[in-house]
Structure 1
Amino acid sequence: MKQENYIKGMVMIILSAFFFACMNVSVRLAGDLPSIQKSFFRNLVAAVFAAVILTRNHIVPRVQKQYLGILFLRCAFGTLGILCNFYAIDHLLVADASILNKLSPFFAIIFSFLILKEKITPVQGACVFLAFIGCLFVVKPGFQDAALIPALIGVCGGLGAGIAYTMVRVLGTHGIKGPVIVFYFSVFSCLFVLPYMIFHYVSMTWTQIGTLLMAGAFAAGGQFTITAAYTYAPAGKISIFDYSQIIFATLLGFFLFGEIPDKYSFIGYGLIILASLGMFLYNMKAAEKN
């Protein structure tokens, strides 16, 4: 991998972390609305952004037949990830929901092994194990029963995103452009939740509509930048920088909602970030040897 691509991937993933933190805050600010309805507006804006980029660059959103299955998996699991993440945002601290969603790089490693047959070394396995120990501190099974179900749903969001980003990696390495992937994913997500929207729509104020459109704009920025990041560099080499979202989310949650994570959450954050740092250093050392 070229050093230039590594730097681009690093910058893109930090930008995506900031955008997604802002998206999470906007989702919370939208108030008491169904998570599915919030996800529709998030993906609608992203679809429009992607369509505009495709049109301006005269890109025909074609995907070769052999990659349609992979694209479907990216769309399906990406949609699952968003729905679970939005539910967690509405029922947990913003920082807790964010860190659970950021388990996705570890799930990406697991599914890269299961699907792409990429080897997992003992060091990577230890880092994945440490990350899930950290996850238990955030989830706190048995400590706060009221938050257990939303926390587990948040973990499922990270799992869905991990599979989705594994598929993004496959598509990107086979020449499928980022805007094409974002376009199909966003349209798929909108169509998937449309029946619910038709039969269970909850009326919104103009402020809520504006907030959700803003969430969609931040999501579009995050989607494009993270798609670019994983097409520039493998997840294992840049995933550590994705955890800057926890810093952004904690600060925004404190200043906007007065949220202060408890000691168990902070321990969990530390373990998950430590696991990611260990994986990052290991990958850098392996790259130097090669």
Structure 2
Amino acid sequence: MIDNLSQKQKAVLFMLISAFGFALMNVFVKLSGDLPTVQKSFFRNFIAFLIAFFILLRSGGGNISSVSKSGWFWLFMRASLGTVGILSNFYSLDHLLVADASVLNKLSPFFVIILSAVFLGERVNRQQVAAIAVAFLGVLLIAKTSFATGISLPVMIAILGGFTAGAAYTCVRYLGTMGVNGSLIVCFFSGFSCLVLAPKMISGFVPMQIWQLVILILTGVSAAVGQYGITFAYKYAPGNQISIYDYSNIIFTAVLGTCFLGEIPDFLSIVGAVVMFGAFYINFRFNKKADKIKAVCHE
């Protein structure tokens, strides 16, 4: 069935799968209890590494020998930025409502648009700039702040997580255009993160109950689903065409957060999310119009 889909349809499907996987991960992180952020991040990456490594072995190694020096550089950049993004996201999940942290983290697709224009030469237009401006208005509403009171540390870290995730996904997009195997991208990132986090995790390890370990394993599994989804999504289509669908994560997270955590977003958070969805809609409508123009031109 997937083979019959267009490149863009495949990208949208994988983006929706990714959004649901990361929504589950967000909820599991919150459910795991009062554990250090580094410890949660390590287990999330370790389980994802095992899954990716197994798939990589089954596929014959993913043509590792064919990866160029430039490809290894971008793998390193993707892993470094992604590690910062995970730590930022998990910290914000521990200190904000899961829905609010998810919305702020989902500034990443807008950063993908900006960074893809700067580094990959993908065109940015006035409509996309307007969408970015509206999205940041939504951020301010969710942050419940003003220039007088300042933005809280968890909110700033959540925004940092959105930026580093956007930069990491830009690297994923570039690696996809280079033909680098998706399992290799996931495996390298997860393994790199584990190596970076291991010393701090070991020195500050907090004993866990069985139920916490099970939840962290589920966190890693759902993260692997999300990671594979977004890796293949950006492989099949440019960020400016499919990033809108990544925001389905906000809906998934809000619903799961309400059902399993009893977290109900307040009025300003809801208004902020609606404003951000307005930005997403601007971006979506422009892409749809652009696709129609291209179709007419090719007729």
The CA deviation at 1:11 is 1.0
Residue of structure 2 aligned with 1:217, choices 221, 225, 244: 221
Structure 1 residues 55-64 or 223-232, which shifts more?
55-64
Matches within 5 A, 1:242-281: 242-281=246-285
Matches within 5 A, 1:5-84: 5-59=7-61, 60-62=63-65, 63-84=67-88
Matches within 5 A, 1:59-138: 59=61, 60-62=63-65, 63-138=67-142
The CA deviation at 1:233 is 1.2
Is the counterpart of residue 232 in structure 1 residue 240 in structure 2?
no
Structure 2 gap ranges (5+) = 295-299
User: TM-score scaled by structure 2?
Assistant: 0.92
Seq. identity, %: 47
In the aligned structure 1, how far is the partner of 2:64 from the partner of 2:36? Answer: 31
Letter in 2 for 1:198: I
User: TM-score scaled by structure 1?
Assistant: 0.95
Counterpart contact for 2:116–2:239, Cα < 8 Å: no
Is the counterpart of residue 287 in structure 1 residue 270 in structure 2?
no
State the Cα RMSD in Å. 1.8
Structure 1 ranges of 4+ moved more than 3 A: none
Letter in 2 for 1:169: R
Counterpart contact for 1:240–1:273, Cα < 8 Å: no
The superposition leaves residues 68-121 of structure 1 with CA deviations (integer Å, 9 ceiling, x where unpaired) of 221111111111111000011111111111111111000111111222233321
Q: How many residues align?
A: 289
| Aligned twin of 2:297 | none
Indicate how the Cα distance of structure 1 residues 205 and 147 shifts in structure 2: closer, same or farther if over 3 A, else same.
farther
In the aligned structure 1, how far is the partner of 2:246 from the partner of 2:70? Answer: 30
In the aligned structure 2, how far is the partner of 1:245 from the partner of 1:74? Answer: 21
Structure 1 gap ranges (5+) = none
Letter in 1 for 2:245: F
Matches within 5 A, 1:119-198: 119-142=123-146, 148-198=152-202
The CA deviation at 1:147 is 8.0
